[in-house]
Amino acid sequence: MKEETWEKLLLRYQFAKTMLEKELEIIIGDYEYRTTSHPVEHMKSRLKSKESIIKKLKKKKVTITPKNIKKHVHDIVGFRIVCSFLSDVYDMVNIIKSSKNLKILEENDYIKNPKSSGYSSYHLNILIPLYLEEKIDYVEAEIQIRTLAMDFFASLEHKLQYKLPENIPVYLKRELYSCSEEVKNLDTKMQHLYDIVKKYIDN
């Protein structure tokens, strides 16, 4: 792939990232205005580097071409939305799915169905429309939505996994999963307290 092609490709994803930032800002802002609720603690976004894209394609053992990038790398544009409570996560999922400017490509509920490591989050792969060169070009992005507790676990788990060899000892896997269960219990307890507080506010 020529350098110019890389530049054009990454520029397209940068445009998509900018558009998604604006779309999320608008739909979340509208929701907060209508409900006087503030479900989002913070939101982060990133654009995968050229080096990271190549590394991912090599890991998948596919040729490095624009076609394969689009086919095999689904998180070049990545967003993470961190919410206060479990109910906020699902509210955010519904808000995003209701957007007329975004198309849902795939969704995975790793909260109801956690990964084997105990990782929990709600993933949405979406298509963002770009109006370039008198045509519509859809660019994929991944949005991860999770609670503060899930984000805490995911961040530490990632650091631990990064330092460990590929074949993690069984007892370490068990310990990690045990920690994820504690995080899940914390989320459940905080949601219960939040539901009680809401009853007082609504009354």
Give the model confidence (pLDDT) of 25-68 as tens digits: 999 999 999 998 899 999 999 999 999 999 889 988 988 888 88
User: What span, in angstroms and rounded, lies between the C-alpha atoms of 17 and 103?
Assistant: 15
Give the CATH class of 3-153.
alpha beta
Q: Pull the structure tokens for residue 123.
A: 């993933």
Tally Cβ neighbours within 10 Å of residue 113: 8
pLDDT (0 to 100) of residue 84:
94
- Is 142 an annotated catalytic residue? yes
Give the helix/strand (H/E) hosting 92: helix 86-97
pLDDT along the chain (203 residues), means of 10: 71 94 96 92 94 90 88 94 96 96 96 91 96 87 97 85 67 85 93 88 70
C-alpha pair distances (Å), 178 with each of 171, 175, 182? 10, 5, 7
pLDDT (0 to 100) of residue 143:
98
pLDDT (0 to 100) of residue 67:
86
pLDDT (0 to 100) of residue 6:
81
pLDDT (0 to 100) of residue 131:
87
User: What span, in angstroms and rounded, lies between the C-alpha atoms of 121 and 146?
Assistant: 5
Name the catalytic one among 7, 41, 142, 166: 142
Distance linking the first and last C-alpha atoms of the chain: 63
Q: Any idea where the domains of the chain sit in the sequence?
A: 3-153
CA 202 to chain centre: 32
Q: Which residue has the tokens 């608008």?
A: 26
pLDDT (0 to 100) of residue 129:
93
pLDDT (0 to 100) of residue 88:
96
